[in-house]
A and B are shown apart, each in its own frame.
Chain A
Amino acid sequence: ETGVTQSPTHLIKTRGQQVTLRCSSQSGHNTVSWYQQALGQGPQFIFQYYREEENGRGNFPPRFSGLQFPNYSSELNVNALELDDSALYLCASSKAGTSTDTQYFGPGTRLTVL
């Protein structure tokens, strides 16, 4: 098991609602990336945070937003939920500026939008 934790494990929401997902990084890691993984697909990069700033964004609309806190934990917020937002949401932490090049994923939050 990695040191990356995510909460909640599962979540059911209805269309139009808002959701906040949380991620706690591996100790010593200062960068967090969020991904969306639909069933049977590979993860899709949503965005990355480094030093509390967004450091790159994938092809996702602005209703997907995030935060990184001074302790490097992170939140993913999704507004105006749509049925297609149903997926596994993964966060992954890494350490910028090192040669170890190791990234650790959390177990994910399964979001169902009805």
Chain B
Amino acid sequence: QKEVEQDPGPLSVPEGAIVSLNCTYSNSAFQYFMWYRQYSRKGPELLMYTYSSGNKEDGRFTAQVDKSSKYISLFIRDSQPSDSATYLCAMSRSGGYQKVTFGTGTKLQVIP
């Protein structure tokens, strides 16, 4: 069993929809949680960085962490075609991007 599980998709939604992306994990030592967006043939781009449980909002993006359930989510409001990309969850035991463990990524397509 992988430490971080993420549904690979693909996930297709109409423009303007609310998108929900999720990951589960097995290692209770994870304390730092990240979401990245990766366009085709590009490096990942950090979207959200959170510590421990709770919510964090940045523009159209909201990250949620539920450590009791070992479950993290990324919500995208008012989705746009430019949001079409692969979304990677990631987590680590310590800060500073040390030994980060990534999920496999969920491919999202937003249809105009």
Instruction: Write out, one digit per residue, whether chain B residues 90-105 have a CB within 8 A of any chain A CB (1) or not (0).
Output: 1000011111111111
A108 at the interface (CB under 8 A from B): yes
The A-B contact count (CB < 8 A) is 60
CB of B42 closer than 8 Å to a CB of A: yes
Within 8 Å of chain B (Cβ to Cβ): is A58? Answer: yes
What sequence of 0s and 1s flags, for each residue 41-52 of chain B, a beta carbon within 8 Å of any chain A beta carbon? Answer: 111111001000
Interface size, chain A (Cβ < 8 Å): 26
Given contacts A105-B45, A108-B43, contact A45 B100 (CB under 8 A): yes
**Which of chain A's residues has its CB closest to B45's CB?**
A105
Known contacts A43-B88, A106-B43, A107-B42; A92 and B104 CB within 8 A of each other: no
**Size bracket of the B interface:** 20 to 34
Nearest opposing residue in chain B for A47, CB measure: B99
* A-B pairs with lowest CB-CB distance, top 8: A42-B102, A105-B43, A101-B49, A56-B98, A42-B104, A105-B44, A43-B102, A103-B97
Contact B43 A31 (CB under 8 A): no
Question: Whose C-beta in chain B lies nearest to the C-beta of A9?
Answer: B41
Render B31-56 as a binary contact track against A, CB cut-off 8 A, 1 for contact.
00000000001111110010000000
- Beta-carbon contacts of B61-104 to A below 8 Å, as 1s and 0s? 00000000000000000000000000010100001111111111
A68 interface residue (CB < 8 Å to B): no
